Amino acid sequence: MADTVAITLLRHGLTEANERKSYLGWTDSPLSIEGEKEILLLRGCYPVYEKVHTSDLPRCVETAKLLFPDVVPAKNPSFREMNFGNWEGRTYDELKTDSDYLKWLERPMAAMVPGGESYPRFSERVQNGWKQLIASEESHFALMTHGGVIRELLVRYAPMEKSFFDWSPSHGRGYELIWENRDSLRRGERCTSLQAAPIMGKRNG
């Protein structure tokens, strides 16, 4: 159908901080050697998009440039990962005796992260960015972003209802969401279909 809209949500490549299993939100960490190798193996597996949007954080921009070297990504800070404030760069083992951290683990969708964001504030920011994104007339585009952002969007727009933590987007990969018409997308309805991305091997063999 001419009015179909397909949006692919992609997660940035594996970073050095990801390998350490530390919290990584608004601070940044470069792609690890292994992460860069994985992304380069995926080059050519994705179709040509009308546009590639990204979080403005370097790990997303770098991943987008590696995957789509001929594209200048459009950066948007609304699609940053959740701000982990005082916990940025720290691991569970480093935080497990912190009383604020333990309270947050009990109520992660409500409690405030010291020096960072609460989930409701994060969600509001992402949804404001999403409204800007879908206001365009593009019909086939990608958003290179973070695991938390992808989970937030899938909770709201995937065809099946699953919780935030039931989604597990992999680095360099993601999901394509398809709406049969633009009006249903802009009304905030769930997409018609969802499929893993990429869905095939390299297009050039």
Q: Is residue 166 part of a domain?
A: yes
Q: Is residue 187 part of a domain?
A: yes
Instruction: Yes or no: say if 10 and 189 are a contact pair by the CB < 8 Å rule.
Output: no
Decide if pLDDT at 133 tops 70: yes
Decide if pLDDT at 201 tops 90: no
Q: Is residue 80 part of a domain?
A: yes
Q: In which band, very low, low, confident or very high, does the pLDDT at 205 lie, cut at 50, 70 and 90?
A: very low
Beta carbons within 8 Å of 139's beta carbon, 6+ residues apart:
4, 5, 6, 50, 182
- Please give the average per-residue pLDDT across 138-150, as a whole number: 97
- Please give the average per-residue pLDDT across 43-70, as a whole number: 97
Decide if pLDDT at 200 tops 60: no
**Side-chain half-sphere of 94: how many Cα atoms within 13 Å?**
10
57-73 pLDDT, tens digit each? 999 999 999 999 999 99
Decide if pLDDT at 1 tops 70: no
Which residue type is seen at 87?
W
Domain CATH number, residue 63: 3.40.50.1240
pLDDT at residue 203, rounded to an integer: 43
Planar angle of CA 150, 153, 155, nearest 5 degrees: 105
Alpha carbon dihedral 163, 168, 172, 174, in 10-degree steps, equals -40
Average pLDDT, the chain: 95
Decide if pLDDT at 32 tops 80: yes
Q: Is residue 127 part of a domain?
A: yes
Q: In which band, very low, low, confident or very high, does the pLDDT at 2 lie, cut at 50, 70 and 90?
A: low
Q: Is residue 106 part of a domain?
A: no
> Chain centroid to CA 90: how far?
21
Q: In which band, very low, low, confident or very high, does the pLDDT at 199 lie, cut at 50, 70 and 90?
A: confident
- Please give the average per-residue pLDDT across 155-177, as a whole number: 97
- Considering the entire predicted model, what is its pTM? 0.95
78-124 pLDDT, tens digit each? 999 999 999 999 999 999 999 999 999 999 999 999 999 999 999 99
Q: Is residue 93 part of a domain?
A: no
Q: Is residue 103 part of a domain?
A: no
Write out the residue range of the structural domain in which residue 36 sits. Answer: 5-84+117-197
Q: Is residue 104 part of a domain?
A: no
Alpha carbon dihedral 191, 197, 203, 205, in 10-degree steps, equals -150
Decide if pLDDT at 146 tops 80: yes
Bridge partners (DSSP) listed for residue 141: 7, 51
Q: How many structural domains does the chain have?
A: 1
- Please give the average per-residue pLDDT across 177-195, as a whole number: 97
Decide if pLDDT at 204 tops 60: no
